Structure 1
């Protein structure tokens, strides 16, 4: 018999392998569910590393008989040691980044949970965003392995613990439901999420069914061994039948519930944390780059000849470098973002751009920032990119900082770098080669487009009508060509001089005669431009030679804005783009010269306009005015102030530092703020904040207050017990519960008298004689021949309340407060051996 028992003990426990299989299965389901968030195979390294660390620490702890606390400390140490290679692959860029990676690991453990939902998915292995997944997997598997290898009876706890990785993937997941799937006439709206739910819940349900059946089998086997009664021969067959029936019922339920629920739920009803967080960087606090356009043509300092950037690669296939795209005109200037910016017009982290590798059929361009970058482009936050961008890879010592600061807007096809670009910084752009665009004259406005009327100068409308060219693409092309032919290029309000061979200026290179030109792009400035054109046309007639109609003065700042407003007035969506034309691409004869020799200088900075046709594609065209024909004789020109040096460009505001929080989005709006904020409205923010804090405190305190109320109700119910004997017995239970909540041991198998001696010894303030008397009184009430009177029960409770107070008085105040909300008396109970009532 002993040999058979030893043989059974030596057999491997089937439940152990089932528990381990369940844990690993739920790990796989959680990783599968998290794939849409990351979509990088480094996720496998992160998950596998978490499982290996958890298993190693727990097994070592079991061999050395470590406590839970020591296992937790060792797990945290292993996490700090291996977290960087498992979750921050970017730290291997350099030795300095590897050292900083451990600092980032600690910071990301706390802060990257919010950051994970502020970055557009898929996030890849961007920065430290794999850290939340590593923490979730490591904590859950460590807890699960501790329960499994500890052979704990509470196997049911494994289910909620191992469902947490799947819950993490769902809560932090994407809002997309994927393409619907047809199954037997039913439409499964979210097939991926459905599969995840079926696998997770099916594994959990199957595990609990098998575990319950296994526990029943073990209990019957032990009972048979103890009693000598053998189980019926068909018992195992019955167990298998019950398990198969449970599985069949579950499969039928899933087969019916999944299609019906998926058909009933709309895909738009999926809401996750990402739905409520705006992961955009609001850049409207930065000055619009078009307002500083003329700084690139300055001779003092010489930004005209300074190298803004250099490039190499497939320049001919890419055509242009886009510095900034401005789509919103507010009557004062064209801006990158509107005042009421939303997600469609804002910039965001796009890890898929910074983590993508070279692809077939893509054009490549290597860009290096030059010394004239800041002077020519003002804030320096706008990063030159290309249309059709597919990937960007930064180089140099600041590769991680530059990657962290890169934001992109796919709608505008424009990028921003909030980690200030410095001379020598470099990056590589991968993009789709640019195809030939449709001629401007072949375009038609998008369906449903309405010609703009707001922020359109009256003189512009009158000039467009006076040309009698109609509407549509042909009219737009004709109007833009006439605007350029009747304008004159001038980059300055004051004469830049004639220039020298060593220091050429824009005036010397254009070969024209200097004409004063005001900066700005407001409605007044654009309105004056068209007023000059109208007056000259009325003076000489619309059919006069082209040289007699030249009257408008300005540069790309004014003429690009004017051209965009013309397009808007005809119903074409338009936007202004600031950038460079690369050498080798097709350029207009009258345009700003393209970059030469792989270098873009200040003199090559230009602005062009893009309009959208009915096919939703954006078509660019040049708007630079001509510089060969001078202004017509005695034109009515824009008035120039007597003190031109006092003219200031609009929105010359102080630029916020590049270190400003890119994901804030909470811009201060001081417009129309009343100076006198007195009155009840001034207290609203304070009341709102105070009320929020109070609400949070109430929510946190609600469970504790509930415990106090439940204990008071329990004491009142015991005191109101109908029989006197029951009241006395319940009173003793109340005393025992008080002692247990204070941290004293439960009576267990001790008699009441023994428990009274134990408590009087633990509390010097308690009266041992009275406690012993109370214990004897409770025994007499329960086991005595006569029931006590109500007066005796009242005296018992009075003495009891006094002893409860004296018992608690021996403990410090903090422990008495903890006793009020302790759950120990609910877990241990107050019944003692031989004294149950």
Structure 2
């Protein structure tokens, strides 16, 4: 105890100051390395707070003589107390958010490590993503300060401990190499990462060299004091020689390490945790917004005039509001997400959008959700944004929830809001106004683009070829214009009623013609069938009014225009949205929003085609409504079928043996046999049909039970998450065993259940069953979710084991298992 007090009372020496300097130096290197991840000056507050908490906890512990366990508890308590202001600046939005921030802090301490690699960098101070950095810095500095202030001889442990923050920044960092530096023929790739590596390893090497030299000096001094023999001191020349040698070795090391690290950090070879994580938002369950397009033009309920969204600001500069961008056509509809979602269709958190500040030269638009938002846009998950979006900020009491629910796709220039939008929710968009598109006729497709052939109706291809306009941008714009001129606008199958509908807005003389919904190949093919039929009837050079034949609205004509562009080799996509005042819509298009309100009647769809410079150029596709549908098209496509009334006249039927052609009686020997044939079979058919019906009634519950089991297996196999698929797969194996008559797991673990089932069936593989049990435990309780490939492999092995498990039982037992109800009962104990 006395020695402990003397050690605690001893004052600081040079070694302690060097140790502290090394710790703070690597804290600074770790913060510098983490800057590309966060790129917010709040990082300085987080790191400084972690160092202050660690230093305070260790100093208090040293003064009071606490053990390392009490010091750790003190640091953890300070972390809980000060973690919210240090790492969750969004909690300052309101008092409720600040109180809720402590709950978020606890959750983020465990869960935000994975979340950090699913959000696109820079993450800023988005949500609670500074918490992993705070935890890393706090744990490392607390351990390091404990070693320093205890004057432990295990100073070497400071090196791996304080390299952890730098490793954290590298592992959780960006996949890109960053900037490079070229000096003559010498190129340093990934300059930032190279500097971080040199600083961290240089500081660690210098610290170990100095510490070793210092320990040698202290040992010599103590030996001289004990023996009385004094060692002559070194000369200045010797000291200079040692310093020069150390510098030379360091320079040689840099000359070798820098090129090697630059090569290792090339973009094609750099792999971090973020490389293996796809940050796609799960939006596949939402229907394509284009399929509900006509709901915006309904008069019952009146979504046609209902305010969908209100706006104010620089609407003239921005031109259009984008609700959803649909780039994937599957032959049935255009969708926002493809069937096999990839990085090009990934919606992800974009902290750089939600944390950017207002910059000069940006247009600003304030938007407020209106009462007709859900009715006009279906699910309401697609958030209206603009081209060139650089920042978005939400307002109101749900600002944090709306920010958390916002996802964005840079390639599609489309946003989604998974937090349910309510009327009155508001947000502000900052965007760089896009330059006006050049001459549309001068467009050319991107290099290497190939005309699409799949999912293109034959009638569309025939119509395009019959126009004789060639290829390229001029042909594309000419074809789309002809399609619009020869189409007729109609939004419904039934004539709208009321005084303020889309039909009355077309003018007093507007005619109503039925229009089928849908955008499948059949619907688009029928549209071009009408155009081809009318063109063949009147000739290609007929008057424009005689060629009007296709009926539809933006849903059909936008899709048709996109498919025309694809057939010419232009990548195309359909965009649903609104035209703002000052937009480039023409007189034939859906009217633009006015008076600060976008209503259902302003919802429109247009096509964007990709040019050779990879920019997307919008094209209006709304059909005209001034020229009426041609009379020939009306008579052929909507034929009039008058009802003919037939007079019923009583007639006298001749007797069976009478000859209807004369008065003589007919002696027909074949007539009795022909009549007797069906009569003889009728009783047999009745009896056979009755027996079959009884058998079907008996078998129906059994077949239904088998179908229910197949459906259950299908649902389990198609679980949204890989972990859920694996856990459900194990349940499927257990249900198979239970239906075969084996006992339920009860309180047994999965491994114990695997041993039980392998013992009951000689055909099963005990090793594989045990591996499957471990895999299910890892999927449920592991720190990381399994990959889809691992889930597929799990199910492949599972199916094999289910088959082998059943092979040990007789055929009749396996048949009874198909209709057994045992697996639907409670599996809480043995049965």
Say which SS state the counterpart of residue 23 (structure 1) adopts.
Answer: helix
The alignment covers a number of residue pairs equal to 663
Q: Deviations over 1:256-300 (max 9, x none)?
A: 332245347643111000001111213222100000000000111
Partner of residue 601, structure 2: 603
Counterparts of 1:384-395 in structure 2 under 5 Å? 384-395=384-395
Q: Does 1:505 align with 2:588?
A: no
2:119 match = 119
Return the alpha-carbon distance in structure 2 between the equivalents of residues 193 and 549 of structure 1. 65
Alignment of 1:424-503 (within 5 A): 424-497=424-497, 499-500=498-499
Offset from partner CA, 1:786-815 (integer Å, 9 cap, x none) = xxxxxxxxxxxxxxxxxxxxxxxxxxxxxx
Equivalent position of 1:516 in the other structure: 514
| Native 8 Å contact 1:281 1:665 kept in 2 | no
Structure 2 match to 1:525: 523
How far the C-alpha of 1:558 sits from its partner, in A, is 0.3
Deviation, structure 1 residue 184:
6.0
Aligned to 2:109: 109
Equivalence for 1:818: none
> Contact 1:121/1:174 (CA < 8 Å) preserved in 2?
yes
Q: Runs of 5+ in structure 2 lacking a partner?
A: 1-5, 642-719, 726-731, 738-762, 784-831
Shift of 1:421: 1.1
Deviation at 1:181, TM superposition (A): 1.9
Measured after TM superposition, the shift of residue 683 of structure 1 is 13
Task: Assess, with a 3 A threshold, how the Cα gap between structure 1 residues 666 and 10 changes in structure 2: closer, same or farther.
Answer: closer
| Native 8 Å contact 2:194 2:261 kept in 1 | no
For residues 247 and 640 of structure 1, the distance between their equivalents in structure 2, rounded to whole angstroms, comes to 96
Contact 1:83 1:105 in 2 (8 A): yes
Instruction: Give the superposition deviation at 1:195.
Output: 0.9
Aligned to 1:794: none
Deviations 1:682-737, CA, capped at 9 Å, x for gaps = 9999887435368999x99xxxxxxxxxxxxxxxxxxxxxxxxxxxxxxxxxxxxx
CA distance, structure 2, for counterparts of residue 683 and residue 374 of structure 1: 55
Q: TM-score, normalised by structure 1?
A: 0.76
Contact 1:580 1:600 in 2 (8 A): yes
Q: Is the 8 A contact 1:528 1:638 kept in 2?
A: no
Q: 1:219 deviation in Å?
A: 1.1
Report the CA distance shift for 1:165/1:228 in structure 2 as closer, same or farther (over 3 A). same
| Matches for 1:84-99 after TM superposition, within 5 Å | 84-99=84-99
Equivalent in the alignment of 1:568: 566
Q: Does the 8 A contact of 2:118 with 2:279 survive in 1?
A: yes
What is the CA deviation profile of residues 139-181 of structure 1, one whole-angstrom value per residue up to 9, with x for unaligned ones? 1001111111111111111111101000100110111112332
Q: In the alignment, is residue 345 of structure 1 matched against residue 309 of structure 2?
A: no
In structure 1, the residue matched to 2:282 is: 282
Partner of 2:297: 297
Are the structure 2 counterparts of residues 329 and 681 from structure 1 closer, same or farther at C-alpha, using a change threshold of 3 Å? Answer: farther
5 Å-filtered alignment, 1:752-767, equals none
Q: Is the 8 A contact 1:533 1:550 kept in 2?
A: yes
Whole-angstrom distance in 2 between the partners of 1:641 and 1:61: 96
Structure 2 contact 38–125 (Cα < 8 Å) conserved: yes
Looking at structure 1, the residues matched to 640 and 373 of structure 2 have their Cα atoms a distance apart, in angstroms, of 31
1:631-671 Cα deviation digits (max 9, x unpaired):
111316657999xxxxxxxxxxxxxxxxxxxx969999xxx
Counterpart for residue 57 of structure 2: 57
Residues 325, 578 of structure 1: 8 Å contact kept: yes
Describe the superposition over 1:333-384 as per-residue Cα deviations: whole angstroms up to 9, x where unpaired. Answer: 0011111110112211111000000011000000000010000000100000
Q: Which shifted more, 295-304 or 337-346?
A: 337-346
CA offsets, 1:80-126, max 9 Å, x none? 01100110000001111101101000000000000000001110100
* 1:25 corresponding residue in structure 2: 25
Does the aligned pair in 2 maintain the 1:187–1:263 contact within 8 Å? no
Q: Is the 8 A contact 1:186 1:263 kept in 2?
A: no
SS in 1 for 2:311: strand
In structure 2, C-alpha distance between the alignment counterparts of 1:435 and 1:375, rounded to whole Å: 33
Is the contact made by 1:186 and 1:260 (CA closer than 8 Å) also made in structure 2?
A: no
Q: Determine if contact 1:609/1:620 at 8 Å carries over to the other structure.
A: yes
Q: Distance in 1 between matches of 2:628 and 2:216?
A: 102
User: Can you list the C-alpha shifts for 1:502-556, whole angstroms capped at 9, x where unaligned?
Assistant: xx01111112111111000000000000000111111111111111111110000
> Is the 1:334–1:561 Cα contact (8 Å) retained in structure 2?
yes
Whole-angstrom CA distance in 1 between matches of 2:254 and 2:128: 38
What residue is the counterpart of 1:248 in the other structure? 248
Alignment partner of 1:690 is 2:686:
no
Q: Does 1:314 align with 2:314?
A: yes
Contact 1:289 1:377 in 2 (8 A): yes
Q: CA deviation at 1:20?
A: 0.4
For residues 496 and 128 of structure 1, what CA distance do their matches in structure 2 show?
Answer: 51
8 Å contact from structure 2 (residues 180, 190) kept in 1: yes
Q: Distance in 2 between matches of 1:544 and 1:12?
A: 100
For 2:439 and 2:238, locate their aligned partners in 1 and report how far apart those are by CA, in whole Å.
80
Change (3 A) 1:640 1:346: farther
- Supply the RMSD in Å over aligned alpha carbons: 2.9
**Which runs of structure 2 are paired with 1:250-269 in the superposition (5 Å)?**
250-263=250-263, 266-269=266-269
* 2:210 paired residue number: 210
Residue 433 and residue 688 in structure 1: after superposition, are their counterparts in 2 closer, same or farther (change >3 A)?
Answer: farther
Q: Kindly state the Cα deviation for residue 131 of structure 1 after the two structures are TM-superposed.
A: 0.2
Q: Distance in 1 between matches of 2:15 and 2:550?
A: 88
The answer to whether 1:225 aligns with 2:230 is no
Whole-Å separation in 2 of the counterparts to 1:203 and 1:177: 23
State whether residues 552 and 637 of structure 1, in contact with CA within 8 Å, keep that contact through their aligned partners in structure 2: no
CA distance in 1 between partners of 2:523 and 2:228 (Å): 106
Does the alignment pair 1:36 with 2:36?
yes
Q: In 2, distance between residues paired with 1:681 and 1:330?
A: 43
Aligned to 2:685: none
Preserved contact between residue 383 and residue 416 of structure 1 (Cα < 8 Å): yes
Say which SS state the counterpart of residue 268 (structure 1) adopts. Answer: coil
- Shift, 1:414, TM fit: 0.6
Q: Distance in 1 between matches of 2:308 and 2:265?
A: 54
Structure 1 CA distance for aligned equivalents of residues 25 and 298 of structure 2: 67
Instruction: Sort the Cα spacing of 1:385 and 1:454 in 2 relative to 1 into closer, same or farther, 3 A.
Output: same
Q: Secondary structure at the match of 2:430?
A: strand
- Structure 1's 514 and 438: CA in aligned 2 closer, same or farther, altered over 3 A? same
The aligned runs of 1:635-674 (5 Å cut-off) are: 635=633
In 2, Cα distance between equivalents of 1:462 and 1:431: 42
Residue 709 of structure 2: aligned partner: none
**CA distance change for structure 1 residues 460 and 377 in 2, over 3 Å: closer, same or farther?**
same
Contact 1:583 1:598 in 2 (8 A): no
The equivalences for 1:728-739 within 5 A come to none
CA distance, structure 2, for counterparts of residue 392 and residue 404 of structure 1: 12
Classify the secondary structure of the residue corresponding to 1:348. coil
Q: Which residue of 2 aligns with 1:187?
A: 187
**Alpha-carbon distance between aligned partners in 2 of 1:456 and 1:10, rounded to the nearest angstrom:** 85
> Structure 1 residues 171 and 25 mapped into 2: Cα distance closer, same or farther (>3 Å)?
same
**Secondary structure at 2:606's aligned position in 1?**
strand
Report the CA distance between 1:302 and its aligned residue. 0.7
- Give how far 1:586 is off: 3.2
- Gaps spanning 5+ residues in structure 1: where? 1-5, 643-662, 669-674, 701-837
Asked if 1:553 corresponds to 2:551, the answer is yes
Pair 1:638–1:344, CA change in 2 (3 A): farther
